[in-house]
Structure 1
Amino acid sequence: MPTPDARRSWRESLAVYARAPVVAMLFLGFSAGLPFLLVFSTLSAWLRSAGVEVAAIGFFSWIGMLYSIKFFWAPVVDRVTLPLMTRLLGQRRSWMLLAQAMIAAGLVGLAATPPVGNLGWVAGFALLVAFGSATQDIAIDAFRIESASDDMQAAMASTYIIGYRGGLLAAGAGALYVASAVSWHAAYLTMAALTGVGMMTVLLRPEPRRLAGGNKPVLEPRVRAFLRKTRGQPRAWRHVGAWVIGALVCPFTDFFVRHGVKALALLAFIAVFRVSDLAMASMANPLYIDLGFSLATIANVTNVFGIAMSIGGGVLGGLLVVRYGIGRMLVAGALMTMLTNLLFVALALMGDRLPMLVVTIVGDNLANGMASAVFIAFLSSLTSRAYTATQYALFSSLMTLPGKFLSGFGGLVVDAQGYASFFTLASLLGIPAVLLAVWVSRGMPGRPGA
């Protein structure tokens, strides 16, 4: 990690985007983004166009719960070896390839299944895609963290975000275009073929180097202590107990041992960093519509300016972390996220002014793109290389759950107080994140005032 006394030049900072691990995340990001819409909005469009009732389509949204509980099987991805595949490819690449195979199989199954009269099969194949996608996310996160040092993590996160957006575009607009020009069957077969992008990347990139003994629970002190205490007991019981301690207990105790009394404050920071922008997310589109903007205008502005600024923010975040360090940019990201929510307050007060809509979407997406890249780098720096998948899955879940929970109450606040008051409150929710970011940054390279 560069320090203020050994700061990299802008040319050296930009050169990080030409590094192979960073470029690889562009294609793995595409692979991660591709299946997401194919079991959500794109699938809903297919079901509705096939005549499936809206009430039945609504239940398909429950499939998304798999993404929120992926930390439950992250220890399996972290520790369990796959017969033959792990020996040939390594722990991370074998799980990525297996997950991609599940995604492709599920998409082929959906392509071959007419929705009407086969909703059970459609749901089953969609669950297979979602489970494979969530599993792939776990493996990719671990692969990314183990593939490069902390100062490259933001750059890798930014190229991942770009690739992820590309996957969303392919699964959204791309699938709809193929469906309208040919058929839904062809659309889902095309998407299944595009999983080859991720598969080729997995086969071409090397397995990252893990800590010695990182996949051998017997080497961990708590596991050794358990085995000593259970001598003479059934071998199967000792084996299961050792695995549970190594895979489930040690990742959590490791975090608290490494950070001591600061661990709870760090977890609080992870929980509140994105509360401000996630809490207001559910009310952004209703605001645009209630102000009188047409759906076409909203779509054009959010697609053209929103996606461009989100990608630009991610690249900028990665560049600035390489240049200035994670600590300083954590404060900047938290502050920008909080302040850009005030743009929505201005928009709510000004009304249907197209220039203000553009400014709002540009500012919001630029800030969120930058903050996301910086925060992913921060989470990666907290993650132990011995428990990569399990710890990062826990952190990423904690990062989004509080904000998503509070977002559900957004409509009640708008009904009672109006949009301007709601977005002001959402902005104020960012104050704890800014204060904790200042505290966290004091112990990191590139801290303010260093």
Structure 2
Amino acid sequence: MPVAEGVTVEGKGMTAWQRSFAQYRDRRVLLILPLGFASGLPLLLTFSTLSAWFATAGVSRATIGAFALVSTPYALKFLWSPLIDRLPPPIPIGRRRGWGIAIQVALIAATLALGSCNPKVDLTHMAALAVLVAFLSASQDVVIDAYRVEILTPDQQGPGAAMIQTGYRIAMLVSGAGALIIAARFGWFAAYATMAALLSVGMLVFTFGPEPAIPPEAEPHTNARGWDAVREWLVTAVTEPFADFMRRPMWPAIVIFIVGYKLGEAMAGVMAMPLYISIGFSLNQIAAVSKLVGFFATVIGAIIGGVVTSKLGVMRALILCGILQSAGNLFYVLQAVGGHRLDYLALCVAAENLTGAMAGTALVAYLSDLCSPAFTATQYALLSSLAAVGRTMVASSGGVLADKLGWVPFFLLTTVATIPALLLLVWIARRDPTPWRKRQDSISA
């Protein structure tokens, strides 16, 4: 495992909290910020920014809604992550860097091609290119997540998770509001070309950054030939990552916890916008507060979450941040009772984004600790997909519950919805308190 550069020396004479903040000055942790930016940049280019382009071009609402399906690759990336984990990269400069640069070159080209289309005449062509951009973006996420997990020590996973979220959030602001400003002044091709150029920051990291060492168990075997080689590859690339995870103590409980940890936040988030609109806030008011207050609250929350994770450890940070995340939903109750007040809206948005980012950082660090070095890309892609299951499951049920219960009881329900997952986490922590990667490091040492 890599050794953090500079932290050990600087850590002498520091308090534990100072050492936690000092992790953010480590060169490897800093490299994660531009990778998070590259990861988040393409998302809105196939979602809300593309929808805005279609709306200004007179495309029907039904067609715009149907284009939401182009984001499907993000939910299915675990299916092809074994290929990225095991196949030799197209560019022979290392397993992670080679795949990272190759995918990003293709992503830049696809983004430029999408931006050069005309939605009035090229909708079918644009659909294919949007799916391609989403597929390459999801594949890029597989490489970036694996690179982040492997390049950082277990103690740096919290700050690394904060950096990935901060870069991601900045990129969404740039590819959302930034792209719209450019499009309004210079046209849509200029907007998409600018976003494609900004993707090069990720290529710079992969070009000049270090390549994580390949663990012995991940080295390819070359003795087998023909069908034996195919069978061996299927075992090591597809079967073994899942078998490896299921050899861990209490893995079913871990899966249930991952699915349920952000369930309450997801339930509240689904109905946040309908709540604001029902109270009488205009879309401009909601957008202004969300973009300004929400952005800074998310960045601050991600950094605090990283510091707390580094100081307290992953398990205790998950519990603390999970409790704060649940308590943050009480501000929706305050908003529902207080009515049309901008100060309550700002407070609600700030609390939602601050606590959600703290919990998200702790969860990313936990998922990173669960990955074996030999199967990082495959296992992290699978675990992150499980973490999204809760958000997907409640998307359709939140409105029904809010209609039946009313705003205040509904948001009180979201406050306690995560309690079963937190209790399960306490049970897991008491029986298996050491993160998986730290235990593996101590065994290998």
Same fold per superposition (TM over 0.5): yes
Residue 187 of structure 1, aligned match among 185, 191, 196: 191
Residue 404 of structure 1, aligned match among 392, 395, 409: 392
Deviation of 1:42 after TM superposition, in Å, equals 0.5
Provide the residue aligned with 2:439 in structure 1. none
Q: Which amino acid aligns with 1:303?
A: K
Residue 284 of structure 1, aligned match among 266, 272, 275: 272
Mapping for residues 1-12 of structure 1, pairs under 5 Å: 9-12=16-19
Residue 244 of structure 2, aligned match among 254, 258, 267: 254
Q: What is the TM-score with the length of structure 1 in the denominator?
A: 0.91
Query: Which blocks of at least 5 consecutive residues in structure 1 are unaligned?
Result: 220-226, 228-234
Q: Which amino acid aligns with 2:141?
A: D
Provide the residue aligned with 2:124 in structure 1. 120
Provide the residue aligned with 2:204 in structure 1. 200
Provide the residue aligned with 1:394 in structure 2. 382
Matched, 1:358 2:362: no
Distance 2:61 2:219 in 1: 47
Q: Which amino acid aligns with 1:400?
A: A
Q: Which amino acid aligns with 1:90?
A: G
Provide the residue aligned with 1:223 in structure 2. none
Provide the residue aligned with 1:54 in structure 2. 61
Residue 160 of structure 2, aligned match among 153, 156, 163: 156
For the Cα contact (< 8 Å) 1:104–1:192, is it kept in 2?
Answer: yes
- Which stretch of the first structure deviates more once superposed, 59-68 or 336-345? 336-345
Distance 1:160 1:381 in 2: 15
Deviations 1:64-104 (A, max 9, x none): 11100110001011111124x1x3x2111111112211221
Mapping for residues 6-45 of structure 1, pairs under 5 Å: 9-45=16-52
DSSP 3-state at the match of 1:202: helix
Q: Which amino acid aligns with 1:193?
A: A
For the Cα contact (< 8 Å) 1:217–1:247, is it kept in 2?
Answer: no
Deviation of 1:358 after TM superposition, in Å, equals 1.9
Residue 434 of structure 1, aligned match among 406, 422, 426: 422
Deviation of 1:8 after TM superposition, in Å, equals 5.2
Residue 173 of structure 1, aligned match among 157, 177, 183: 177
Q: Which amino acid aligns with 1:326?
A: V
Provide the residue aligned with 1:240 in structure 2. 230
Distance 2:110 2:182 in 1: 18
Matched, 1:374 2:362: yes
Residue 348 of structure 1, aligned match among 324, 336, 339: 336
Residue 417 of structure 1, aligned match among 390, 397, 405: 405
Deviation of 1:355 after TM superposition, in Å, equals 2.1
The change in CA–CA distance for 1:350 and 1:110 in structure 2 (over 3 A counts) is same
For the Cα contact (< 8 Å) 1:313–1:367, is it kept in 2?
Answer: yes
Deviation of 1:9 after TM superposition, in Å, equals 2.5
Matched, 1:71 2:78: yes
Q: Which amino acid aligns with 2:76?
A: I
Matched, 1:293 2:281: yes
Deviation of 1:353 after TM superposition, in Å, equals 2.2
Distance 2:15 2:87 in 1: 40
For the Cα contact (< 8 Å) 1:313–1:368, is it kept in 2?
Answer: yes
Matched, 1:444 2:427: no
Provide the residue aligned with 2:89 in structure 1. 82
Residue 215 of structure 2, aligned match among 192, 203, 211: 211
For the Cα contact (< 8 Å) 1:279–1:404, is it kept in 2?
Answer: no
Runs (4+) of structure 1 exceeding 4 A deviation are none
Query: Which blocks of at least 5 consecutive residues in structure 2 are unaligned?
Result: 8-12, 436-445
For the Cα contact (< 8 Å) 1:345–1:419, is it kept in 2?
Answer: yes
Aligned residue-pair number: 424
For the Cα contact (< 8 Å) 1:316–1:370, is it kept in 2?
Answer: yes
Provide the residue aligned with 2:103 in structure 1. 99
Deviation of 1:166 after TM superposition, in Å, equals 1.3
- Which stretch of the first structure deviates more once superposed, 51-60 or 385-394? 51-60
Distance 1:433 1:21 in 2: 32
Q: Which amino acid aligns with 2:356?
A: N
The change in CA–CA distance for 1:131 and 1:431 in structure 2 (over 3 A counts) is same
Deviation of 1:7 after TM superposition, in Å, equals 9.6
Q: What is the TM-score with the length of structure 2 in the denominator?
A: 0.91
Q: Which amino acid aligns with 2:146?
A: A
Deviation of 1:374 after TM superposition, in Å, equals 0.8
Deviations 1:4-56 (A, max 9, x none): xx995322221110111111111001101110000111111111211222222
Distance 1:218 1:370 in 2: 45
The change in CA–CA distance for 1:217 and 1:312 in structure 2 (over 3 A counts) is farther
Deviations 1:377-436 (A, max 9, x none): 111111100100010111000011123211211111122221112212222211112202
Q: Which amino acid aligns with 2:341?
A: R
Deviation of 1:181 after TM superposition, in Å, equals 0.6
Distance 2:316 2:35 in 1: 28
Distance 1:434 1:399 in 2: 14
Distance 2:155 2:286 in 1: 37
For the Cα contact (< 8 Å) 1:146–1:210, is it kept in 2?
Answer: no
Provide the residue aligned with 2:301 in structure 1. 313
For the Cα contact (< 8 Å) 1:326–1:445, is it kept in 2?
Answer: no
Deviation of 1:303 after TM superposition, in Å, equals 1.4
Q: Which amino acid aligns with 1:70?
A: K
For the Cα contact (< 8 Å) 1:8–1:323, is it kept in 2?
Answer: no
- Which stretch of the first structure deviates more once superposed, 45-54 or 241-250? 45-54
For the Cα contact (< 8 Å) 1:334–1:433, is it kept in 2?
Answer: no
